[in-house]
């Protein structure tokens, strides 16, 4: 009975794997028929075996149907072997295979040619075979073997390496299935020794279905080293834990110490709990720690690029770093030019427009949600179906195998292209993880390349500060100004050294709604600027994806915690101005001061409430509170970062919030811009003309919607 249980579990596992395949491309239909016929085979045969002791007639029908299921599954695998990975219509083949399936169904189920009767006495299983049992069995297995051989043969000739691997994996899985099924379903019942293993025969669907599921979901090649590592990790789990647990549960079951359901439940809970431990143990011992260390080294190398040496030199150095890390035969940097197209700027002697503005390639890149794309992904991943021709043409034009994109929302600011590996290997999942890990740092270089002009210009600007200042100013100016008849917004964002980590950004969401963020990313100088550049871009990208305000902030927090240098945090405020509702919704993430002055109040009041800064904990969502503030016409908001509030006089006094409130009171009749100027002047004078920290001051005056626009 235990073996039957195993077959049921194998069927369930295979069904789950098959259901997990989401593709719509070539071969998926054949795969589904093959997978679910295989699952049906397992369930029918196991049930027939169980019933064959007391309900022979029903058992006979079920086992005959099971055989038909197995043949259908092999026929569908054969169809998959011939067509994969393309979606070509092969009508003649489909008709022929359907005819064979129909004939097999008739012969196996409605005649005595395959099976005449069966009977089980406890563990003894007796099968009365029909006159053509051997011939039909060999023919059925032969179809499966032919499918496996076809897959292997196609694996040898297909040009795409990723499809080659898919076909090879499917061939191996199917060959294993056929061998297992033949040995246990055909040979075992004739042997006294192996007869008891008969119900296990139908578990064979697991191998072929898992292998094909892998092929339909994997879009990258795997390297032998990574595959061996993964197999070794699973072997550790199996040997150290799976086998002892299985033995213990089996013994409990046999000794009647546990009912079948209890045994399965115990096994599942135990395996889930200890499997987790075993997996982390295996990974720790088998080397993924080494991969993480390499990624950290790579990240550090890119972070330490000296931007003051000029664009050509920076990109040259980056090319060396990438060549060492990934073994690529060449490396190129593309940058957005003034027309909005993508131009190759490194190597410099190869200045060429790679994607013109509005070209299908650029549109396809703009539409991508991913920032790291391998050519193998484009070839094999259904998610790229729409953009496939344009993206493939882009990869072909470059001769590249991998591309890392630097995007701000949809806009492609730059891209890094990687040529084939010197070893001839393909880019694999480990490379993907490494690209993904260093994306933030690469983004900064892309921004640098976009905004810092050629070497000749560099001679006219100061070195480090001048360069970074160009970037910061360019990015700071790149906002959607809040231009609306019902509101007047003014801001100043300055740094004592010309570059800093303060940030103000606004994005138009709809006619009356604007998103804005104001704050300070920790660190000073160039590092803070880099973090600010990355953060601003990331928030804009997340805005496109995330409609939930709290989740947007929470994902920003996760990005800071996981991607920005250790010790980086953000103190500020995220807001949504709903001008049609006369409200502002905001989440305080540690902004030191947000004052609100209503026309009906004499004095300004603090409105920010408590807040938690971002970058301290992995999941900040439970700590975030969205607040709403109604803005009557004539009201004003004044938001400041800590550079103002913490400004110090020569005597060591803090500027503080009281002075800020007083300035706000004194400027009741002034415009938003005049008020911002007044705050900056006051704080600067207080600090003896020298502000130590980056400062940002934002004033938002709400006038109310113009009457004709009110609903």
Partner 1 sequence: MTGISVEVVERGAWTVLTVHGPINSYTHNELQEKTMRHAGRVDMAVDLSGVSSMTSAGIGVLLAAVEDAAAAGKRFVVVAPSEVARLAIESTGFSDHFPTVPSLKELPA
Q: Which residues bind partner 1 (CB under 8 A)?
A: 496, 520, 522-524, 565-569, 571, 590, 592, 610-613, 615-617, 623, 642-643, 646, 648, 652, 654, 692-694
Output the smallest distance, CB 305 to partner 1, in A.
20
Quick check: helix, strand or coil at residue 1? coil
Q: Which two tokens stand for residue 405?
A: 């994109």
Looking at the DSSP bridge assignments, the partners of residue 494 are: 695
Give the number of other CB atoms < 10 A from CB of residue 155. 20
Cβ distance to partner 1 smaller for residue 347 or 496: 496
Output the smallest distance, CB 661 to partner 1, in A.
18
Helix (H) or strand (E) holding 57: helix 56-83
Output the smallest distance, CB 497 to partner 1, in A.
8
Q: Which two tokens stand for residue 633?
A: 């016409």
Q: Which spans in 478-590 are helix H? A: 525-545, 549-563
Give the number of other CB atoms < 10 A from CB of residue 600. 8
Output the smallest distance, CB 297 to partner 1, in A.
16
Helix (H) or strand (E) holding 442: helix 429-451
Output the smallest distance, CB 521 to partner 1, in A.
9
List, as one string, the DSSP characters of 22-40.
---STTHHHHHHHHHHHHH
Cβ distance to partner 1 smaller for residue 541 or 568: 568
Half-sphere exposure (CA, 13 Å, Cβ side) for 176? 16
Helix (H) or strand (E) holding 492: strand 487-494
Cβ distance to partner 1 smaller for residue 502 or 701: 502
Output the smallest distance, CB 618 to partner 1, in A.
12
Output the smallest distance, CB 185 to partner 1, in A.
55
Cβ distance to partner 1 smaller for residue 426 or 642: 642
Looking at the DSSP bridge assignments, the partners of residue 601 are: none
Write the CB contacts of 608 (distance below 8 Å, at least 6 apart in sequence).
573, 586, 588, 591, 592, 593, 594
List the helix and strand counts (H, then E) for the chain: 23, 18
**In angstroms, rounded to a whole number, what is the distance separating the alpha carbons of residues 502 and 519?**
6
The closest alpha carbon to 543, from 583, 504, 516, belongs to: 516
Output the smallest distance, CB 523 to partner 1, in A.
6
**In angstroms, rounded to a whole number, what is the distance separating the alpha carbons of residues 524 and 112?**
85
Output the smallest distance, CB 648 to partner 1, in A.
6
Looking at the DSSP bridge assignments, the partners of residue 589 are: 572
Looking at the DSSP bridge assignments, the partners of residue 638 are: 595, 699
Q: Which two tokens stand for residue 209?
A: 């279905």
Can you state the angle between helices 525-545 and 464-477, rounded to 10 degrees?
A: 20
C-alpha separations of 21 from 5, 16, 35, 471, 506 in Å: 25, 9, 11, 44, 40
Cβ distance to partner 1 smaller for residue 67 or 573: 573
Output the smallest distance, CB 292 to partner 1, in A.
12
Write the CB contacts of 543 (distance below 8 Å, at least 6 apart in sequence).
409, 507, 515, 552
Output the smallest distance, CB 552 to partner 1, in A.
18
- Report the 3 state secondary structure along 629-644: EECCCCEEEEEECHHH
Q: Note whether 569 and 532 are within 8 A (CB).
A: no
Phi, psi of 486 (to 5 degrees): -90, 0
Cβ distance to partner 1 smaller for residue 408 or 520: 520
**In angstroms, rounded to a whole number, what is the distance separating the alpha carbons of residues 247 and 448?**
61
Cβ distance to partner 1 smaller for residue 462 or 692: 692
Cβ distance to partner 1 smaller for residue 182 or 569: 569
Q: Note whether 83 and 27 are within 8 A (CB).
A: yes
Q: Note whether 136 and 113 are within 8 A (CB).
A: yes
The closest alpha carbon to 171, from 143, 144, 146, 152, belongs to: 152
Cβ distance to partner 1 smaller for residue 47 or 495: 495
Output the smallest distance, CB 554 to partner 1, in A.
14
The gap from C-alpha 226 to its chain's centroid, in whole angstroms, comes to 20
List, as one string, the DSSP characters of 525-536.
HHHHHHHHHHHH
Output the smallest distance, CB 691 to partner 1, in A.
10
Cβ distance to partner 1 smaller for residue 303 or 366: 303
The closest alpha carbon to 368, from 354, 379, 346, 384, belongs to: 384
Tell me whether the omega of the peptide bond preceding residue 85 falls within 30 degrees of 0, making it cis: yes
Output the smallest distance, CB 180 to partner 1, in A.
47
Cβ distance to partner 1 smaller for residue 47 or 522: 522
Output the smallest distance, CB 77 to partner 1, in A.
49
**In angstroms, rounded to a whole number, what is the distance separating the alpha carbons of residues 421 and 419?**
6
Q: Note whether 500 and 525 are within 8 A (CB).
A: yes
**In angstroms, rounded to a whole number, what is the distance separating the alpha carbons of residues 48 and 12?**
17
Output the smallest distance, CB 615 to partner 1, in A.
8
Output the smallest distance, CB 367 to partner 1, in A.
37
Cβ distance to partner 1 smaller for residue 151 or 560: 560
């Amino acid at each position: 009975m235990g073996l039957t249980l195993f077959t049921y579990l194998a069927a369930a596992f295979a069904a789950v794997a098959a259901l997990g395949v989401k593709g719509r491309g070539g071969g998926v239909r054949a795969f589904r028929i093959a997978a679910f016929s295989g699952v049906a085979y397992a369930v029918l045969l196991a049930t027939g075996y169980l019933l064959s002791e007391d309900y022979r007639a029903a058992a006979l029908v079920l086992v005959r149907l099971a055989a038909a299921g197995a043949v259908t599954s092999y026929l569908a695998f054969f169809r998959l072997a011939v067509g994969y990975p393309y979606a070509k219509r092969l009508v003649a083949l489909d008709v022929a295979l359907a005819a064979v399936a129909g004939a097999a169904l008739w012969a196996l189920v409605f005649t005595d040619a395959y099976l005449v009767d069966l009977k089980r006495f406890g563990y003894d299983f007796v099968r009365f075979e029909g006159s053509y049992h051997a011939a039909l069995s060999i023919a059925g297995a032969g179809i499966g073997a032919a499918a496996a051989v076809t897959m292997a043969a196609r694996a040898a000739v297909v040009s795409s390496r990723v499809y080659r691997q898919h076909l090879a994996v499917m061939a191996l899985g199917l060959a294993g299935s056929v061998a297992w099924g033949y040995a246990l379903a055909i040979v075992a019942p004739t042997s006294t020794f192996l007869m008891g293993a008969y119900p296990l025969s139908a578990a064979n669907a697991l191998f072929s279905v898992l292998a094909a599921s892998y092929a339909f979901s994997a879009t990258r090649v795997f390297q032998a080293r990574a595959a061996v590592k993964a197999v070794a990790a699973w072997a550790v789990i199996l040997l150290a834990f799976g086998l002892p647990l299985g033995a213990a549960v089996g013994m409990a079951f046999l000794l009647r110490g546990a009912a079948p359901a209890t045994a399965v439940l115990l096994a599942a809970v135990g395996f889930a709990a200890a499997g987790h431990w075993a997996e982390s143990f295996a990974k720790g011992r088998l080397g993924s720690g080494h991969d993480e260390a390499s990624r950290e080294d790579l990240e550090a190398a890119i972070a330490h690029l000296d931007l003051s040496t000029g664009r050509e030199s920076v990109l040259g150095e980056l090319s060396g770093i990438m060549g060492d890390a990934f073994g690529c035969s060449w490396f190129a940097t593309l940058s957005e030019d003034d027309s909005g197209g993508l131009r190759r700027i490194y190597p410099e002697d190869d200045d060429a427009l790679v994607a013109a503005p509005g070209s299908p390639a650029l549109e396809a890149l703009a539409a991508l949600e991913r920032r790291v794309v391998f050519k193998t992904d484009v070839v094999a991943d259904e998610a790229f179906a729409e953009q496939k021709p344009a993206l493939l043409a882009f990869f072909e034009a470059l001769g590249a195998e991998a591309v890392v994109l630097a995007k701000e929302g949809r806009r492609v600011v730059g891209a890094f292209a990687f040529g084939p590996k010197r070893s001839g290997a393909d880019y694999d999942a480990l490379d993907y993880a490494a690209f993904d890990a260093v994306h933030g740092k690469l983004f900064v270089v892309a921004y640098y390349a976009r905004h810092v002009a050629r070497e000749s210009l560099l001679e006219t600007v100061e070195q480090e500060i001048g360069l970074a200042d160009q970037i910061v100013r360019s990015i700071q100016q790149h906002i959607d100004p809040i231009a609306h008849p019902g509101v007047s917004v003014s801001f100043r964002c300055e740094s004592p050294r010309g570059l800093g980590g303060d940030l103000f950004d606004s994005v138009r969401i709809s006619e009356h709604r604007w998103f804005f963020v104001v704050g300070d990313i920790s660190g000073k100088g160039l590092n803070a600027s880099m973090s600010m550049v990355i953060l601003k871009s990331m928030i804009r990208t997340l805005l496109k994806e995330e409609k939930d305000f709290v989740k947007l902030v929470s994902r920003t927090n996760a990005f800071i915690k996981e991607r920005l240098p250790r010790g980086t945090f953000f103190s500020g405020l995220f807001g949504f101005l709903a001008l049609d509702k006369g409200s502002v919704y905001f989440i305080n993430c540690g902004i030191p001061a947000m004052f609100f002055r209503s026309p009906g109040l004499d004095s300004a009041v603090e409105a920010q409430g408590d807040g938690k800064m971002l970058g301290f904990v992995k999941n900040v969502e439970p700590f975030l509170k969205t607040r709403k503030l109604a803005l009557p016409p004539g009201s004003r908001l004044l938001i400041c970062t800590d550079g103002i509030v913490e400004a110090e006089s020569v005597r060591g006094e803090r500027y503080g919030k009281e002075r800020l409130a007083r300035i706000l009171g004194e400027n009741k009749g002034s415009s938003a811009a005049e008020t911002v100027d007044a705050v900056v002047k006051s704080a600067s004078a207080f600090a003896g003309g020298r502000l130590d920290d980056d400062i940002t001051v934002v004033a938002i005056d709400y006038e109310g919607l113009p009457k004709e626009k009110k609903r």
